[in-house]
Structure 1
Amino acid sequence: MYLPPSSYHDSLEELWDEEEEPEEIETMMKVVPSAYHQYLDVFSKVKAEKLPPHRACDHHIELEGSLPP
Structure 2
Amino acid sequence: VIRVKNEYRFFVCRNEGYGVSSYDLQKNDLGIAMCHFELVAEELGLKGEWIKNETEKIPSKWTYIATWVAVE
Q: Specify the TM-score bucket, using the shorter chain as the normaliser.
A: under 0.3
More strand as a share of residues? 2
Q: TM-score, normalised by structure 2?
A: 0.26
More helix as a share of residues? 1
Q: TM-score, normalised by structure 1?
A: 0.27
Larger radius of gyration: 1
